[in-house]
Chains A and B, each alone.
Chain A
């Protein structure tokens, strides 16, 4: 019995505009560019993909089931720039075959820096999902599938969720297969689904690569691979970026055709079906424990945090950003809070990565900057302005910043934040 569990990540950041030290206004973000990109991706990916999914759900009469996680900041952008996309997502919600999961509203790494902020962003996101889609998320996936034992324990203690998602990286699975449900070693009730990265990346990355020995990938070939899981596992977790459909893999690669035929090919085998993450967790018991003592993610080859905090510039930017939490919240100004949160988006730090800069690859391709240094400079200028705004408000009121015990989720590889 192999259940195919699709999960699509849907996200766009608020990109910063060119912001120099001489700029004094508080509009840090490039509204025009963000609108343009949102509309472009809507046209190439979100709309055609959603429409296709709706058709397939209809055609297979409820047997084709999928799940999404859409960030709060993208929902805002849809509302502002592409409301028709939001409508198609709502239609999908109404089919009853689509599950929406929870994450941090601002696609941030706050789980590593501030417990309080982490909870707030999760709550915000859950509320939004309920408002838009009439669903209460039961499954949590952290930004960029950042995960650790401590994180799992923390999530379990909130009592809000029944399951979590994580990357099925070789160095944590060891000999274990990603095709089962697991229990985090730090938890008693929470269940864990891990990504089958080989099969997921076959679709998300290798699909159009002519040098790949499995190119071209057709739905029947893939279905055969899924079938071979039978007896070796219960679930095939296919987690990927939704932009795979039309953006990362352009339409002319045949990616839409692949998905169009996919449900039919899978369902040919009577032991197969599609399940959403909640359904997987309800159907299968954990077969063992997964121990992740240090933080992992789904990014880059290392599957760790180095994509966002690997170099001194990134660490400096993140530290200075989260050091502002007290001041920002003390101002009680919604625009300052909103801007501070938008600066938390992990993409900003991703663009500052120098790891592959000399060789140029994935990081560079999606990078709106010529160089990670330019991004850092931009970010720090904006952050400085935000700091200045806070100080202005607080000094006017003569208010002492409220003392919030800054307590990060304890973790071996993340820094414990100290108030200054």
Chain B
């Protein structure tokens, strides 16, 4: 299995998804070798057996990950920086060139030299694969697709690409052509494509020319742990809180959140809006709130870690996901797990799964504000959404995703 994020070194939902998927799959007895690029930091996951190209590094052992070995490759692959690049059409993992793009900086979200890094990663993985015994190659998101393809060519084993997001979600209409090409290549060369929602599947079919029968939908889930944080004693608050939690970037629709906040504050007073997260649009959002005259009602927390995330959810009266294009959206499930009602964008994968949630088109600021006010002002609405939503969220289990993936592996192996 090839990925580039794994807790605690995460920046988005991909790492969380990989963590839970591998955990659930390991429980089913699937043996996984998970190949990560080295993230330049000292924090290494302290719960797994690590194998690097240099040899074994013994660390603390965690039973859930018994069937998984983690391999790090030295390649400074870092997601989500300002950048853009271009590569050649064929054999992307070999012939890379870089240059600075003409596209506006706002739409560039990757670190520089990205394709060179993707290529290096692919090479290393290829070498590593010759030392491994495996039945299936499972690659998560575009950065690992060239590597996956290379291994498939060498080994002849079936390749599954798992699409957690596409260029269309991340960059809207200003699609980075090179990334798009890699994504498309991966989807076409793979034997099966897994999409995290029908919403994403439709994008894949429509914009990447992949036949619908090739794409399987496997929803992400939520882990239902015994939540010790449920007994969090918080300082008494006398204001209602509306929460945005996620990367502050175009894809997540932060400006619609701020615009809706303004409309809400025109009608009711006793409420604060929290934007928890960081990203390339953060300073713009701070300016936007200030210029709208609501700077004192909108708080920015920057990136939250660990227990702070739980605190944020527990304090919230409503969680809003105003995403412009969200392949799935795990955060509303996390909110519901903390008994917080949710308002989600219809342009998201999660909205096809949740019924007990308020839904709105991301651009419809009036309706967004209308529904925010309705939830804050009407206790029966809040309670119904909270209770029914919580029960509904619990039904999305990682073990169901894992079992579905196991089924797909089975189909692939029968064919071979």
**Residues of A near any B CB (own CB < 8 A):** 20-22, 311-313, 315-316, 354, 357-358, 370-371, 373-374, 376-377, 380-381
Is there an interface contact between A357 and B370, defined as CB atoms closer than 8 Å?
no
Is there an interface contact between B370 and A316, defined as CB atoms closer than 8 Å?
no
Chain A residue at minimum C-beta to C-beta distance from B383: A312
Is there an interface contact between B380 and A21, defined as CB atoms closer than 8 Å?
no
Is there an interface contact between A354 and B374, defined as CB atoms closer than 8 Å?
no
Is there an interface contact between B366 and A358, defined as CB atoms closer than 8 Å?
no
Nearest CB of chain B from residue A330's CB, rounded to whole Å: 25
Is there an interface contact between B381 and A313, defined as CB atoms closer than 8 Å?
yes
Is there an interface contact between A315 and B380, defined as CB atoms closer than 8 Å?
yes
Assembly CA distance A151 to B392 (angstroms): 39
Given A358-B355, A371-B359, A380-B374, are A313 and B380 neighbors across the interface (CB < 8 Å)?
yes
| Residue in B263, B370, B379, B392 whose beta carbon sits within 8 Å of that of A377 in the complex | B370
Assembly CA distance A399 to B362 (angstroms): 45
Is there an interface contact between B370 and A22, defined as CB atoms closer than 8 Å?
yes
Given A357-B356, A371-B355, A381-B370, are A22 and B378 neighbors across the interface (CB < 8 Å)?
no
Nearest CB of chain B from residue A370's CB, rounded to whole Å: 7
Given contacts A20-B367, A22-B263, A313-B381, 7 further A-B contacts (CB under 8 A): A22-B366, A22-B370, A357-B355, A376-B380, A376-B381, A377-B358, A381-B374
Q: Which residues of B contact A312 (CB under 8 A)?
A: 379-380, 383-384
Q: Which residues of B contact A373 (CB under 8 A)?
A: 356, 358, 381, 384-385
Chain A residue at minimum C-beta to C-beta distance from B370: A20
Q: Which of B230-267 contact A (CB under 8 A)?
A: 263, 267
Is there an interface contact between B384 and A313, defined as CB atoms closer than 8 Å?
yes
Assembly CA distance A373 to B342 (angstroms): 12
Against A, the Cβ 8 Å flags (1 = close, 0 = not) of B372-394 are: 01100011110111001000100
Nearest CB of chain A from residue B147's CB, rounded to whole Å: 41
Assembly CA distance A371 to B342 (angstroms): 14
Assembly CA distance A81 to B267 (angstroms): 37
Is there an interface contact between B380 and A377, defined as CB atoms closer than 8 Å?
no
Against A, the Cβ 8 Å flags (1 = close, 0 = not) of B60-86 are: 000000000000000000000000000
Q: Which residues of B contact A374 (CB under 8 A)?
A: 358
Is there an interface contact between A316 and B374, defined as CB atoms closer than 8 Å?
no
Q: Which 10 A-B pairs have the closest CB atoms?
A: A312-B380, A20-B370, A316-B380, A377-B374, A313-B380, A21-B373, A21-B370, A313-B384, A312-B383, A373-B358
Assembly CA distance A317 to B9 (angstroms): 48
Q: Answer whether residue B371 sits at the interface, using C-beta atoms and an 8 A cutoff.
A: yes
What are 14 pairs between A and B in contact, CB < 8 Å? A20-B369, A311-B384, A312-B380, A312-B383, A312-B384, A313-B380, A313-B381, A354-B384, A357-B388, A371-B355, A371-B358, A373-B384, A373-B385, A376-B381
Assembly CA distance A370 to B371 (angstroms): 14
Assembly CA distance A358 to B359 (angstroms): 15
Assembly CA distance A311 to B392 (angstroms): 17
Is there an interface contact between B385 and A22, defined as CB atoms closer than 8 Å?
no
Assembly CA distance A315 to B383 (angstroms): 13
Against A, the Cβ 8 Å flags (1 = close, 0 = not) of B262-298 are: 0100010000000000000000000000000000000
Q: Which residues of A contact B263 (CB under 8 A)?
A: 22
Chain B residue at minimum C-beta to C-beta distance from A319: B380
Interface size on B, residues (CB 8 A): 22
Is there an interface contact between A22 and B355, defined as CB atoms closer than 8 Å?
no
Q: Which residues of B contact A20 (CB under 8 A)?
A: 366-367, 369-370
Is there an interface contact between B370 and A358, defined as CB atoms closer than 8 Å?
no
Q: Which residues of B contact A377 (CB under 8 A)?
A: 358, 370-371, 374, 378, 381
Q: Which of B327-360 contact A (CB under 8 A)?
A: 355-356, 358-359
Is there an interface contact between B378 and A376, defined as CB atoms closer than 8 Å?
yes
From DSSP, what is the main secondary structure of chain B's interface residues? helix
Assembly CA distance A358 to B355 (angstroms): 7
Q: Which residues of B contact A21 (CB under 8 A)?
A: 267, 369-370, 373-374
Q: Which residues of A contact B378 (CB under 8 A)?
A: 313, 316, 376-377, 380
Q: Which residues of B contact A371 (CB under 8 A)?
A: 355, 358-359
Of the candidates B356, B358, B370, B373, the one having the most CB atoms from chain A within 10 angstroms of its own CB is B370
Nearest CB of chain B from residue A149's CB, rounded to whole Å: 30
Q: Which residues of A contact B356 (CB under 8 A)?
A: 354, 357-358, 373
Q: Which residues of B contact A315 (CB under 8 A)?
A: 380
Nearest CB of chain A from residue B380's CB, rounded to whole Å: 4
Of the candidates B379, B381, B388, the one having the most CB atoms from chain A within 10 angstroms of its own CB is B381
Assembly CA distance A369 to B383 (angstroms): 20
Assembly CA distance A380 to B374 (angstroms): 8
Nearest CB of chain A from residue B266's CB, rounded to whole Å: 8
Nearest CB of chain B from residue A353's CB, rounded to whole Å: 11
Chain B residue at minimum C-beta to C-beta distance from A376: B381
Is there an interface contact between A22 and B374, defined as CB atoms closer than 8 Å?
no
Assembly CA distance A66 to B381 (angstroms): 44
Q: Which residues of B contact A311 (CB under 8 A)?
A: 380, 384
Q: Which residues of A contact B374 (CB under 8 A)?
A: 21, 376-377, 380-381
Chain B residue at minimum C-beta to C-beta distance from A358: B355
Q: Which residues of A contact B358 (CB under 8 A)?
A: 371, 373-374, 377
Assembly CA distance A312 to B358 (angstroms): 17
Chain B residue at minimum C-beta to C-beta distance from A377: B374
Q: Which residues of B contact A357 (CB under 8 A)?
A: 355-356, 388
Nearest CB of chain B from residue A416's CB, rounded to whole Å: 19
Assembly CA distance A373 to B386 (angstroms): 12
Is there an interface contact between A370 and B367, defined as CB atoms closer than 8 Å?
no
Nearest CB of chain B from residue A204's CB, rounded to whole Å: 28
Q: Which residues of B contact A376 (CB under 8 A)?
A: 374, 378, 380-381
Nearest CB of chain B from residue A16's CB, rounded to whole Å: 14
Assembly CA distance A374 to B359 (angstroms): 9
Nearest CB of chain B from residue A114's CB, rounded to whole Å: 21
Assembly CA distance A380 to B6 (angstroms): 46
Chain B residue at minimum C-beta to C-beta distance from A374: B358
Assembly CA distance A373 to B373 (angstroms): 13
Of the candidates B367, B374, B385, the one having the most CB atoms from chain A within 10 angstroms of its own CB is B374
| Residue in B359, B369, B381, B384 whose beta carbon sits within 8 Å of that of A370 in the complex | B359
Assembly CA distance A313 to B359 (angstroms): 17
Is there an interface contact between B267 and A22, defined as CB atoms closer than 8 Å?
yes
Q: Which residues of A contact B369 (CB under 8 A)?
A: 20-22
Assembly CA distance A376 to B374 (angstroms): 9
Chain A residue at minimum C-beta to C-beta distance from B372: A21
Is there an interface contact between B380 and A358, defined as CB atoms closer than 8 Å?
no
Nearest CB of chain A from residue B346's CB, rounded to whole Å: 9
Of the candidates A21, A376, A381, the one having the most CB atoms from chain B within 10 angstroms of its own CB is A21
Chain A residue at minimum C-beta to C-beta distance from B346: A370
Assembly CA distance A374 to B384 (angstroms): 12
Q: Which residues of B contact A313 (CB under 8 A)?
A: 378, 380-381, 384
Nearest CB of chain A from residue B368's CB, rounded to whole Å: 10
Nearest CB of chain A from residue B268's CB, rounded to whole Å: 9
Nearest CB of chain A from residue B413's CB, rounded to whole Å: 35
Assembly CA distance A21 to B263 (angstroms): 10
Assembly CA distance A214 to B370 (angstroms): 50
